[in-house]
Amino acid sequence: MFKKFYQEYIPVFRKEYEGSVVKTLPLSFYQPIAYTLRNPGKQIRPAVLSAVYSSLTDSHINRSLPAALAVEMVHNFTLLHDDIMDGDVMRHGKPTVNAKWDDNTAILAGDGLFVVALEQLNAYRDNPSLYAKLMPALLSAVISVSEGQADDLEFEDRDDVSLDNYLQMVLNKTAKLLSVSAKLGACLAGADEKTCMLVENIFNELGIIFQIQDDLLELTASEETMGKSLGSDLVKKKKTYPFLYAKENLDINNWNKFVATIDKVFIEAHGVHPAIRILEENLVFDRIHELIKLRHVTIQEMINKLPSGSQKMFNSIVEFIMNRKH
């Protein structure tokens, strides 16, 4: 259901998205913004927003498009700045703005795109009470994403990061922009406050378990499926969910063995499979799979509280996102 909606929606959305900025001067400011708008990713967030909207109302999706543009612009604004911080030179198969131009240009383009994103919500100023819900929700999500990114950077140099710390970081950095997209769709559909909060909570939970699953796949899937070398997170000693779960649940002997197998010299000589084997033998992957299932049950219980006519679409969205492999 959502897959069909998504396939039909994306061409409509992209036409609006790519044509949303018409100014061209100064070129050094608007060219990188236009370049970003023409270099699309999967655009899941706007599709979720409009799908939630359509599942809760009989109105045409056109009413949801300005908000959908806004959340995707905010997403790309964060990516422009992430690419600078991470030193990335490729994004969606094309050079990043910082690589094609320079860091200063990318910072400026990101700032501009953020403002343009907020301007999209002006389409709802004809309904002040609605506008008063949409704008604060989106701004709050941007703060959460920034907090999550800050935590992620801090975690690189901290040895005291817990699973709870990690989950809060994932909630902010990964889940919040997805959940606010869904929440805006529900608000636009005229849902009451209780339903809007329920929708937001569903997608917060979905964003968290998607990231946990992604962390797990990085160690358990095939390289062909993931499109990258497996175990790269282990090589970097990145504090992912499996790493932190192992730290909190392995006995001291097995934890010390695991730490020894992710030493740089050891990995260069033996690869990452000895480390992965320790996690397998201690049932770390099995237990994380069980946790994912339990969180999935929680999502289903929340969906069951939504209006019956919308539940099929929500279940379809969950299935679509959970079945993504990268």
pTM of the prediction? 0.92
DSSP assignment of 152-177 equals: HHHHTT-S---HHHHHHHHIIIIIHH
What pLDDT does 237 receive? 82
User: What is the model's pLDDT at position 177?
Assistant: 97
In angstroms, rounded to a whole number, what is the distance separating the alpha carbons of residues 151 and 136?
A: 22
Helices assigned H by DSSP within 19-159 = 27-37, 44-56, 65-86, 97-100, 103-120, 128-155
Q: What is the pLDDT of residue 227?
A: 47
In the prediction, which pLDDT does 236 show? 80
In degrees rounded to 5, what are phi and psi of residue 239? Answer: -85, 80
Q: Terminal CA-to-CA distance of the chain, rounded, Å? A: 21
Whether residue 26 is preceded by a cis peptide bond, meaning omega within 30 degrees of 0, is yes
What is the residue whose two structure tokens read 């690189």? 156
Residue-wise pLDDT tens for the chain (326 aa)?
Answer: 999 999 999 999 999 999 999 999 999 999 999 999 998 889 999 999 999 999 999 899 999 999 999 999 999 999 999 999 989 999 888 999 999 999 999 999 999 999 999 999 999 999 999 999 999 999 999 999 999 999 999 998 999 999 999 999 999 999 999 999 999 999 999 999 999 999 999 999 999 999 999 999 888 875 555 444 567 788 788 899 999 999 999 999 999 999 999 998 999 899 999 999 999 999 999 999 999 999 999 999 999 999 999 999 999 999 999 887 55
pLDDT at position 223, please?
Answer: 55
Q: Which two tokens stand for residue 150?
A: 């800050």
Conformation bin of residue 238: beta by default, left when phi > 0, alpha when psi is -120 to 50: beta
- According to the model, what pLDDT value does residue 264 have? 87
Q: What is the pLDDT of residues 194-232, one digit of tens each?
A: 999 999 999 999 999 999 999 998 888 755 554 445 677
Q: Between vectors from CA 303 to CA 202 and to CA 164, what angle results, nearest 5°? A: 30
